[in-house]
Amino acid sequence: MPLGLLGKKLGHTRVYNAQGVLIPVTVVLAGPNRVMQIKSKAGKDGYDSVQLGFDDQKEQRVPKALLGHIKKHNSVAVKRIKEFRNFSKEVKPGETVGATLFAVGDFIDAIGTTKGRGFEGVMKRHNFAGGCATHGAKGWKRRSGAIGQRLFPGTVMRGMKMPGHMGQDTRTTQNLEVIQVREEDNLLLIKGSIPGAEGDYVVIREAKKRPKGWKAPVVTGSKKKPGAAKPAAAPKK
C-alpha cells in the first residue's frame, strides 16, 4: 500500500472533462490527514509504515487506550486511524497530507463498507429468478425452491444460497480514475462508484494493478480471430 488516504464519501455528481464528455463522479473529502506515527524497519516495530488520522474528535469521546497512544505521539484526537505500509512519500509526525497526494489521471482503489440491507430474500440477495407465475404455481413467486436432497446425504449442503443478512461488508472497488483534484477543498472527484453510503468513511489507496505512471498497453498489428479458417495449401507438383 504505497500511498493512501482516509476520506469521507460526500455524494455524487457529474463533471465535464477537457474533451467535453460528461463523466459521473463520486466526491470524496480526502483530508486533511494528520501523520500520527512513523514506524521503521530498523526500529522495534520491524516494518515501515505511516499512521494517518482523519476527522478531529473531542478527547472525552475517544477510548482512553487510544487517547494514550495519541498523547504519546503528541497528536490530537481523531475519529479514524489507518496504517499504511511502505508509504512512498517521506513525511514527518505532525505533518498533514491531503488530496494532492494524487493527481488527475491516477488510478486508485476505494475500500468501504457497503450499505446495510437488512434481512433479504434470495431474489434480491442472490439474484434468483423466482418461481413460475403461471400454470398453477401459487405462493412460490419469490421463493428459492428445494434446498435439500432425498435419502443421501439427507441434509442441507454447506454454503447453500438462502435468505439472510445482506450488506455491511467490506468491499474494494479497483482501478477508479481520478478526474479532478481540488486542493483548496481537499476533494477528490473519482470516476465511478465507491462502496458505502454518503457520509461513510473510505480508504483511498494507490491502485495495486495500475500504480502511478501506469499506461494502457498499446495493441499493434492484427490478431487472427479464434477458429478462423487457414488458407488452403498449394497443390504439390
pLDDT digits (tens, 9 = 90+) for 19-60: 899 999 999 999 899 999 999 888 888 999 999 999 999 999
Dihedral sign from CA coordinates of 136, 139, 140, 146: negative
Q: What is the mean pLDDT of residues 118-129?
A: 95
Find out whether 195 and 173 touch, Cβ atoms under 8 Å. yes
The verdict on residue 184 lying in a domain is yes
**Cell numbers given for 189:** 472527484
The verdict on residue 177 lying in a domain is yes
**15 lies in the same domain as 111:** yes
**74 lies in the same domain as 185:** yes
The verdict on residue 10 lying in a domain is yes
* CATH number of 69's domain: 2.40.30.10
Helix-strand-coil split of the chain, %, nearest 5: 10, 35, 55
- Tell me which of 11 and 135 has the higher pLDDT: 11
Neighbours of 96 (CB within 10 A): 13
The verdict on residue 225 lying in a domain is no
Range of the domain at 128: 118-166
Total of domains in the chain:
2
The verdict on residue 109 lying in a domain is yes
Find out whether 56 and 33 touch, Cβ atoms under 8 Å. no
Q: What is the DSSP string of 32-46?
A: PEEEEEEE-TTSSS-
The CA R_g of the chain, rounded to the nearest whole Å, is 26
- Where residue 136 falls among pLDDT bands split at 50, 70, 90? confident
Query: How far is the C-alpha of 48 from the C-alpha of 50, rounded, in Å?
Result: 7
**122 lies in the same domain as 112:** no
- The residues pairing with 15 across neighbouring beta strands, listed in sequence order, are 23
- The residues pairing with 24 across neighbouring beta strands, listed in sequence order, are 14
- Where residue 218 falls among pLDDT bands split at 50, 70, 90? confident
The verdict on residue 85 lying in a domain is yes
pLDDT digits (tens, 9 = 90+) for 195-217: 999 999 999 999 999 888 888 88
**34 lies in the same domain as 127:** no
Query: How far is the C-alpha of 146 from the C-alpha of 148, rounded, in Å?
Result: 6
Find out whether 3 and 85 touch, Cβ atoms under 8 Å. no
